[in-house]
Amino acid sequence: MRLTKLLIIVCSFFLSTNALAEKITVAAAADLKFAMDEIVTGFNKNHSDVVVEVIYGSSGKFFTQIQQGAPFDLYFSADIAYPRALAKKGLAASDVTPYAVGRIVLWSNSMDTTHMTLASLADPRITKIAIANPKHAPYGKRAEEALRAGKMWDTVQSKLVFGENIAHTAQFVQTGNAQIGIIALSLVLNPELSKKGGYYLIPDTLHLPLEQAYIITKHGADKLLAKQFAQYMTSKETRRIMTRYGFVLPGEK
């Protein structure tokens, strides 16, 4: 009986401690999914008593949600324009800090894309092409720009299927709902996708740069943990992870 009571007390202590653990919520562009998961794991090695919750999605949708009061403490956007706009509205508690430039690729798990170009998308055997929704997803905007610059937009427009974000777009291709997609290099370089096929790196001269940046939001202004995590983004370990996933880092070409 005494042992049971002791166990209850010990469990209650740990539950209450966990409930009181400092926590931040990070809104992150979906292209960061695999890199950010590793970054958080590294951060937690020296901050085991905290909780870093990361929610992945469309940068444009997060931009709207933050304006509406969503309780995000940091915002990592695939388009620097969004955090800049939030800063102008007084919704940032830090400078707008660039963290990477992304790249777009042609990828398929059923076709060899390594020797393809955008012109290959005119092939009548390709009936579904996945891109992120250009209305709110930066990778979708850059995909549209590249297709237009390559004189392919009118040719392939009827074949396009739109993902809510770049991770959702990759899922279209993975599940066979599209034969090919224009997705983030950072997603293709994760082991889950890289073992399923190669890719064609779309020339960055065909679209505006995918310059990405983060801010500590007004909601996270008083959270030391938010500042510590932002600082960790400059660490050597974080930079190695980001480079491994194909991101071009500030100060690099």
> Which tokens hold the place of 200?
């064609």
Q: Domain 102-206 in CATH: superfamily?
A: Periplasmic binding protein-like II (3.40.190.10)
Helix (H, G, I), strand (E, B) or coil at 102: strand
Helix (H, G, I), strand (E, B) or coil at 126: coil
Domain boundaries along the sequence of the chain: 2-101+211-244, 102-206
On the 0-12 / 13-18 / 19+ scale of CB atoms within 10 A, 197 is middle
* Distance in angstroms between the alpha carbons of the first and the last residue of the chain: 67
Q: Domain 2-101+211-244 in CATH: superfamily?
A: Periplasmic binding protein-like II (3.40.190.10)
CA distances from residue 252 to 17, 77, 114, 124 in whole angstroms, order as listed: 42, 19, 25, 40
Question: pLDDT by residue for the chain (253 residues), tens digit each?
Answer: 444 444 444 454 444 444 457 999 999 999 999 999 999 999 999 898 899 999 999 999 999 999 999 999 999 999 999 999 999 999 999 999 999 999 999 999 999 999 999 999 999 999 999 999 999 999 999 999 999 999 999 999 999 999 999 999 999 999 999 999 999 999 999 987 877 778 999 999 999 999 999 999 999 999 999 999 999 999 999 999 999 999 999 877 6
> Which tokens hold the place of 215?
């801010």
| H or E stretch covering 252 | none
Structural contact between residues 76 and 99, judged by C-beta atoms closer than 8 angstroms: yes
Q: Which of 70, 63, 71 is nearest to 88 (CA)?
A: 63
